[in-house]
């Protein structure tokens, strides 16, 4: 599949903002999740262990372009200053009157806005306790994942992965990076399939496969159905004809030894 097939319809990708992340390893895993789904703008607010981070780079699994382009800010306000649509991700109920959407709806809105040239971003909180209310207040909407409320805590990289996946799915209309649907040619014609099966039936008959003979009609129908369900291609039919021919030759060469 060509690279152009995976274009994200020119939608501006969302920014990922991490508020006071604690571990460089977690930042690296976030970068990896972003790179998996085509996001590259990572913004860090006061990372606890400083920046740059060798641990972040080593755990990014070669998503070095995200790590190297990451920017550090002193405040949330500065990190989101240029964004026109900001989502705050949280699994906790907040006493803040804001619309609450799932990651799928957030992705739909982000893509729609991105197609219009409007920049968006997702804010993610600290590993231990997430975003505070003042940070949530800076967002336009809250994103929450459909987690089990009895165990709602997600690793920060997992939360980023889900949101990035949903954005990519919407932006590319679910197009997969490759397909094997046509790897072996066009669907076989029914006439070719029938000739192949007749060939197989004759070969099996010669080897005494149909025993007892009174069950041959039932067995034949089941064999035919087996091949019909396989959606054979023309190349696969040719391969089967070659297999049957080899089977016939084997029977002749070893006649009386089986």
Ordered by start, the domain boundaries in the chain are: 3-171, 190-253
Q: What is the average per-residue pLDDT within 115-121?
A: 96
The architecture (CATH level 2) of 190-253 comes to Orthogonal Bundle (1.10)
Overall size of the chain counted in residues: 258
Contacts of 38 (CB under 8 A, 6+ apart): 8, 13, 164, 168, 171
Strand arrangement of the beta sheet that strand 71-73 belongs to? 71-73, 42-45, 15-19, 120-124, 85-89, 141-143, 100-101
pTM, to two decimals: 0.75
**pLDDT tens digit string along 141-166?**
999 999 888 888 889 999 999 999 99
Query: b/e per residue, 87-117, with b = 16+ CB within 10 A?
Result: bbbbbeebeeeeeebebbbbbbbbbebbeee
| Position 1 pLDDT exceeds 80 | no
pLDDT of residue 182: 54
Integer angstrom CA distances of residue 135 from 123, 132, 181: 9, 5, 47
Q: Cβ(38)–Cβ(63) under 8 Å? A: no
- CATH number for the 3-171 domain, one of 3.40.1280.10, 3.20.20.80, 3.40.50.2300, 3.90.550.10? 3.40.1280.10
pLDDT tier at 249 (50, 70, 90 boundaries)?
confident
Determine what percent of the chain is predicted with pLDDT higher than 70. Answer: 91
Distance from C-alpha of 95 to C-alpha of 133, rounded to nearest angstrom: 8
pLDDT for 110 beyond 90: yes
Which pLDDT does position 17 carry in this prediction? 98
Q: Quick count: other Cβ atoms within 10 Å of Cβ 49?
A: 13
If you ran DSSP here, which 8-state letter would residue 187 be given?
A: B
Lowest mean pLDDT across 72-86, 142-156, 179-193 = 179-193
Hey, CA dihedral for 152, 67, 75, 77, is it positive or negative?
Answer: negative
Query: Taking all residues of the chain, what is their mean pLDDT, rounded to a whole number?
Result: 89
């Amino acid at each position: 599949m060509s690279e152009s097939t995976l274009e994200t319809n020119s939608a501006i990708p969302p920014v990922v903002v991490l508020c006071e992340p604690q571990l460089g390893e977690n930042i690296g895993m976030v970068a990896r999740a972003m790179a998996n789904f085509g996001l590259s703008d990572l913004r860090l607010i006061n990372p606890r262990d400083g920046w740059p981070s060798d641990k972040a780079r080593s755990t990014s699994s070669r998503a070095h372009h995200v790590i190297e382009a990451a920017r550090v800010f002193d405040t949330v306000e500065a990190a989101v200053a240029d964004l026109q649509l900001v989502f705050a991700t949280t699994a906790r109920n907040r006493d803040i009157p804001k619309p609450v959407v799932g990651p799928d709806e957030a992705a739909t809105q982000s893509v729609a806005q991105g197609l219009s040239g409007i920049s968006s971003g997702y804010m993610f909180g600290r590993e231990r306790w997430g975003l505070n209310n003042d940070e949530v207040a800076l967002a336009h909407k809250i994103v929450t994942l459909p987690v089990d409320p009895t165990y709602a805590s997600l690793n920060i990289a997992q939360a980023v992965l889900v949101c990035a996946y949903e954005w990519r799915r919407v932006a590319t209309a679910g197009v997969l990076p490759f397909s094997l649907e046509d790897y072996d040619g066009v669907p076989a014609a029914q006439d070719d399939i029938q000739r192949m099966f007749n060939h197989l039936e004759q070969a099996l008959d010669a080897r005494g496969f149909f025993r007892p003979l009174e069950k041959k009609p039932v067995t034949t129908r089941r064999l035919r159905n087996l091949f019909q369900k396989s959606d054979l291609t023309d190349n696969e039919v040719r391969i089967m004809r070659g297999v049957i021919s080899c089977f016939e030759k084997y029977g002749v060469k070893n006649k009386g030894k089986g």
